[in-house]
Amino acid sequence: MFKKRKVLKIIGIIFALLFAVGGVYGYSVYRSAKNALDNAYNPIDRVRDTELKNEPFSVLLLGIDLDEGRDTGRSDTMMVVTVNPDQGSSNILSIPRDTRVEIVGRGIDDKINHAYAFGGAQMAVDTVQEFLDIPLDFYVEIDMDGFMTLVDIVGGVTVENDLAFSLDGHHFPVGTLRLNDSEEVLAYVRMRYEDPRGDFGRQERQRDVLESLVNEIATYAVTRYQDIFDTVGDNMKTNLTMPELISISMNYRSAMGTINQMELKTTEQRINNISYQIISDEETLEIQRILKEHLELQ
């Protein structure tokens, strides 16, 4: 059905930053964080209002790849996070970008990452909500340029590589690797054709890089916080407000106790000479059931 395992206490870049905001670094950090969030704030229509008073909530995380010459990118990384403070747990569901679903608002079946290209965050949220049959309370998107800038700010990331490969002039042997700049990281996270796991292997590398990046950000947060927040404000969009982020930071730490990573089980299929990842009805219903239970919707 899906692969589920405990991972380090991380949801994403935004949650690492908000915990810093809720810490002891003082007013100047708070002001910088608030300015960044004000710049990044982009509201969308939601199916419910969530007050964040210790009730479960959900977030769609989008990693946007902006191709040269195209105004709107595609969501090459899509993760749904459900957070339940009473259970002391969070779930992270990775959605392969080539998953074939109905694109809400277009009336067609297509790759799920095309929803963002067609209609931005709103259509991406609407499409994932329809696919998983759960409300998405919040979304956070960060484009690849911003991601790479953060890597350079902190001086690189450390990862555990389980597959030797080369790409774009960079060689990545098996073992502990220090990726020193954004060019190396970009090659590392984008490779998938040499990986027998395909897009799933790429998702695994993306999560590992994200995990390491958050740890590096925590290390550099005091000395480089202005650069970090400036980059976030320029390269991120979200419908989360500053009071909501502070509420999460102060009231939802218990949900970091256990983080379960989930992966959809799909099969590759070519339709009209286009390759898709197909999820069965049984798999879809089971994933929906797990997420609904975690959000206390049933």
Residue-wise pLDDT tens digits, 184-203: 998 898 887 778 877 778 77
pLDDT in tens, 209-237: 877 887 787 776 667 778 878 887 888 89
Kindly report, residue by residue over 49-100, the tens digit of the pLDDT.
888 888 999 999 888 875 544 455 677 788 899 999 999 999 989 898 899 9
Among 57-66, 152-161, 286-295, the least confident range: 57-66
Domains, the chain, ordered by start: 2-294 (3.40.630.190)
DSSP string covering the chain, please?
-EEEEE--S---HHHHHHHHHTTTS-HHHHHHHHHHHHHHB-----SS----SS--EEEEEEEEE--TT-SS-EEEEEEEEEEETTTTEEEEEE--TTBEEEETTTTEEEETTHHHHHHHHHHHHHHHHHHHTS---EEEEEEHHHHHHHHHHHT-EEEEE-S-EEETTEEE-SEEEEE-SHHHHHHHHH--TT-TTTHHHHHHHHHHHHHHHHHHHHHHHHHHHHHHHHHHHHHEEES--HHHHHHHHHH-GGGGSEEEEEEE--EEEEETTEEEEE--HHHHHHHHHHHHHHTT--
Report pLDDT for 259: 79
The pLDDT value given to residue 8 = 32
Higher model confidence: residue 232 or residue 265?
265
